[in-house]
Amino acid sequence: MAAGKGGRRELNRRVLLLWGRGEGADWRVYLDHNATTPLAPEAAQAVQDAMLQAWGNPSSSHPAGRKAKELIGCARESLARMVGGRPEDIVFTSGGTEVGAAAEESKDKGRRPFSGPSFSPLPFSLQANNMVIHTARRHFRESQARPGDSRGTPHIVTSSVEHDSIRLPLEQLVKESLAEATFVAVSPRSGRAEVDDILAAIRPTTCLVSIMLANNETGVIMPVTELSQRIHALNQWRVAEGLPRILVHTDAAQMIGKGRVDVQELGVDYLTIVGHKFYGPRIGALYVRGPGTTTPLLPMLFGGGQERSFRPGTENTPMIAGLGQAAELVSKNWEAYKAHMQDVRDYLEARLEASFGKQRIHLNSHFMGSKRLCNTSNFSILGPGLQGQRVLSRCKTLLASVGAACHSEKGDRPSAILLSCGIPYDVAQNALRLSVGRDTTRADVDLVVQDLVQAVAQLDQDQAP
């Protein structure tokens, strides 16, 4: 589905890399849309318009401030419409400083503040995940029946294939003895964190279950709706027994724009929204079912009272405007986007098998009985010396990854996600993750497969005696 016209459409469809300044250019086909997407022209225009016309401080009462505030309100409505919630359930997030509040929490128990790479600033909008963990832990502690009536250490359940913005904060909290965490292994048959396995991990002290809606590497869609239903029933019994309510969170970063996302259907308390995954700017939001009333939400920062004091700090009006426009595109077009991307993805896998032979292609994201994202293909080209990074280094057209972009420095070490899904080590080592976009065409796929064939031929020749 082309977004924009003429040159804008072509710019979105492919990435033009300039080698040097004005000394020639080389066209490359971008198939790494799970890492990030280009900014939709409509979203870019919304950002520019807001920068020029809505530059006032949204907290100011004069016309310039009111215009900015109105624009933010419209964007909030657009995001709510996109996920089936209410505008008042949307909280905009941004920046890396939210992690500082976690350091404050360690001080209140006489421990050193969090430090090191685990709590370096995370990507912009994924601060929502940290905010949920912070809230669940604090709410557990503050909702004790009376002072001194300790329920023990808060416990959080997640899966073994979550994004680092869930995994790393939990590992650090465990290290600091501020929380306990269970990382439920995914089934090697389905690639999913199964509901029964998640429920089996729940303890009397469990306060949060956080399971991503779709995995960024395999594309496998998790059973979040069923999980929410089962936990809702369990919570009724827990309340009667005086046990803490279990909150449910899902990170929908990969699903939005590629499939249906409806918070009423999902039944979650929290849902993470990540703009740059659906052709928006690098800002995001957190859906909370009745923030501060139905569902707890505790601030990580304290300041000017913006975002109803849940996330203070002067709002980034242009980025929020761009996010709202990107959400409008999703609301209007997601079904067409999904159909197009699935067609191109399926064509890609068919062409790979036709070009290399079915015996040489292992489709790592195919799991019996599981649904997956419409745009994602994780596969390995089998053979010695064909590690994913080596294959990509010989490609002249393809721009892609071997897995999550934030793990790209790990060289030939296979993805921990694939290993968790039961993919053999030598197969996982050769993995490539190709994720098509709204404007990827079958012609692009033909170029990419041709490029992979020549890259593998070079590497096979290098292996020859």
Whole-number Å distance between alpha carbons of 385 and 406: 24
Place of tokens 């401080």: 57
**R_g of the chain computed on alpha carbons:** 23
Buried b (16+ CB within 10 A) or exposed e, 72-95: bebbbbbbbbbbbbeeebbbbbbb
Q: Which residues are catalytic?
A: 406
CA quadruple 138, 129, 325, 260: dihedral sign: negative
Whole-number Å distance between alpha carbons of 410 and 399: 18
Consecutive H or E run containing 327? helix 317-356
Q: What is the DSSP string of 256-321?
A: BTTB---HHHHT-SEEEEEGGGTTS-S-EEEEESSBTTTB----S--SS-TGGGTS-S---HHHHH
449, 442, 439, 417: which is closest to 37 by C-alpha?
A: 439
Tokens matching residue 465? 């005696």
CA distances from 318 to 67, 296, 322, 323 (A): 12, 29, 6, 9
Q: What is the DSSP string of 161-203?
A: T--HHHHHHHHHHHHTTS-EEEEEPPPTTTSS--HHHHHHT--
Tokens matching residue 362? 């292992």
